[in-house]
Structure 1
């Protein structure tokens, strides 16, 4: 089950408020009890002082309390105003108690010892069915044994307990009421807080395939949500660009695949219309083979780019002599180089060796050289160089073609990119895209620039030992 942000915000806020009000209520409860206890303590000390004076000042020498002459039943009717007194010896023997006390007051041995040492002591206990609070008040050393005597004065706590129960119920009600109120209030406030998010989501959900150009405008000017809206709109723009690029790629790929298939079909249909000589059949087969090779190369290029896009291009690393691979590719292009009367300059450092995927490196080198031969003017010059510096392979290929307009050079490595008429004359427009994909999967990069003397310079930089 998904969590509700609104419920979580409301719950946390209500819990914080409830905790705060509970803390305040607890402090108030304790302060009230402390105040009531101070009143009771003052009353007990006052009575204990009076009783202590009456005991020690009695002219007969006998211990007597200064108290009303009432029965036990009449004393009970006094309720919370009643005070009970009892005198204890230092050893805990009861020496005297109020005339309306039928049982001893609850004695606390620790409090008795503390009072015997000359200090006041307090305790609470049960006197029958009454809850009472007592003070233990030290007297002088009296009687023949000359022991220290302690007077204990007790007061019923029923009034205090009733007050505290009422206060507890009242404060509990306040805590409950405030907690519920804070939850409802925070629920409403959280609803207003997440409303902008819901509106942004609603607008985002409305951007469908037939409304790809639409963007989110809700709360775009609100500081708290402007960054979120901007990020979402940027993401939508990237998705839109990727989608459009994919559509263009699919359309271009379909067109490029259709051309050799159409040519192949036309050649074969033409050959089958009537009987032909062996030489004519040989020419048709040769032409069909060329179209098949072109179709196979295009399919390989598309497959390489598809693997690069999906992130499943796996490297089969091994030691590769880049110079040897370049010389092999130049040999394959020898016929085309001779046909265009091109001058080929190859400057290879002997140590131009690294750990690469040999098949992908061959594909990259072939596309670099094929591109240079394809677009160099007849009688031009192609320069190829491979060096090693700072544990990186530097591969340069410069042609003598028309170059690329500066305002279009950023599109050099786009798929099916043909930036001018010269580059539109031949090729699929995938070669340099393959070069970039191979360089990047090896952790390197490729850059294009126009040469001051004319032509295009392609620079490939690869680490000698890729991370993967």
Structure 2
């Protein structure tokens, strides 16, 4: 009931009904008062006629006065009326013309008043129902557009009441459907872009592989040629394998199919294992890998996935550092968190690229001469965030980059410095 009374249209209609009911009561009282006044006048006229008739017949005035003052109906009086032919059932109304005329006027007046009020009630009800019908038609039209995927219009709102609460709930549902529709469209676009990028990434090594195989097939008797291009073919296959494996890992992370098996691990061990995988490459490219941090620092994480994330960050640093460069992995603790830094003194990231480096397959135009599929950094970000961490990047072009991994809640007491290990 409270919800109904909160609706403005319903309140207006109920107020109209109450006013109409009050008007009917007032009209009934007025008509009753007028009828009583008219009956008093008719009774006075009737007494005058009877008095005149009795006086004309020689009846004493005192007798007439006593007769009018009487309040009892005697048996003699009833027998007299019966003998004269007057009863309640048989007395014709036309014998009392004044009373008949007053009755006709009274019925006509009541019919006019209550007929007018009833017509007003009918018009008010039709107006109320018409407004409701337009409201329902508008809501049905908007909901039909929602069903067709058009969310530009809105249901009636900014009102109170059960009906408008239902409209608000439907609006929330439409908003959720719109968000889901946009998400699906974004997924389709992302899938389209991903397939295009995968096709582009596979096209180069596959083309090179076919070319190498054709060269070896054309010169099978030249061992040096076979050795050279078989090595190149092997590298192309390794690149294809790396791309496919990385894509599978990213897909598993996106689908939520990875259950991180978290255990307590020393940060130094994690960093050392990640760097060890790239140590040979660093030596060949004449670059230094340094580890720095407190031995007591520990992190609860999935060892395999965390090693993968750190390895990708170190590999990215190697990709963008010239011979003689230094890649440093260090970690430090504060009372609030543990932070791991992967730093280099390489080329740095151009300002126009720094906001896109965690996007899949994104590669700067300045890195076109370097191998890579653009999945290492997005994979590292997914792994770190999947375990409750946050990754950020700072960079100055020409002076190097620094990736900062933060794990809130793993810090102990503040620590700085620590042992530096050169790999």
Shift in alpha-carbon separation, 1:32–1:243, aligned structure 2, 3 A: same
Answer yes or no: is 1:64 the counterpart of 2:10.
no
Matched residue, 1:175:
121
Shift in alpha-carbon separation, 1:165–1:385, aligned structure 2, 3 A: farther
Higher helix share: 2
Shift in alpha-carbon separation, 1:313–1:274, aligned structure 2, 3 A: same
SS at match of 1:462: strand
Matched residue, 1:224:
none
Report the TM-score, using the length of structure 1 for normalisation.
0.59
C-alpha separation between the residues in 2 aligned to 1:260 and 1:320?
A: 40
SS at match of 1:270: helix
Answer yes or no: is 1:24 the counterpart of 2:19.
yes
C-alpha separation between the residues in 2 aligned to 1:61 and 1:201?
A: 87
Matched residue, 2:421:
none
| Deviation of 1:411 (Å) | 1.9
| Deviation of 1:199 (Å) | 12
Provide, for residues 273-309 of structure 1, a one-character-per-residue CA deviation record: whole Å limited to 9, x for no partner: 4545888767666544433332222112223333444
**Correspondence 1:62-461 to 2 at 5 A:** 64-65=70-71, 71-72=86-87, 73-74=90-91, 77-78=95-96, 81=99, 167-184=113-130, 247-273=192-218, 275-276=220-221, 287-309=232-254, 311-321=255-265, 322-422=267-367, 424-451=369-396, 454-461=399-406
C-alpha separation between the residues in 1 aligned to 2:294 and 2:106?
A: 101
* Structure 2 gap ranges (5+): 1-6, 48-61, 155-176, 411-423
Shift in alpha-carbon separation, 1:351–1:40, aligned structure 2, 3 A: farther
Shift in alpha-carbon separation, 1:314–1:24, aligned structure 2, 3 A: farther
C-alpha separation between the residues in 2 aligned to 1:167 and 1:345?
A: 103
C-alpha separation between the residues in 1 aligned to 2:68 and 2:31?
A: 35
SS at match of 2:210: helix
| Deviation of 1:335 (Å) | 0.8
Answer yes or no: is 1:34 the counterpart of 2:29.
yes
- Contact 1:13–1:182 (8 Å) recurs in 2: no
SS at match of 1:382: strand
- Contact 2:363–2:374 (8 Å) recurs in 1: yes
Report the TM-score, using the length of structure 2 for normalisation.
0.64
SS at match of 2:292: strand
Shift in alpha-carbon separation, 1:308–1:79, aligned structure 2, 3 A: farther
Where relative contact order (Cα < 8 A, 6+ residues apart) is larger, the structure is 2
Shift in alpha-carbon separation, 1:288–1:161, aligned structure 2, 3 A: farther
| Deviation of 1:246 (Å) | 5.1
- Contact 1:317–1:355 (8 Å) recurs in 2: no
C-alpha separation between the residues in 2 aligned to 1:433 and 1:295?
A: 18
- Contact 1:15–1:179 (8 Å) recurs in 2: no
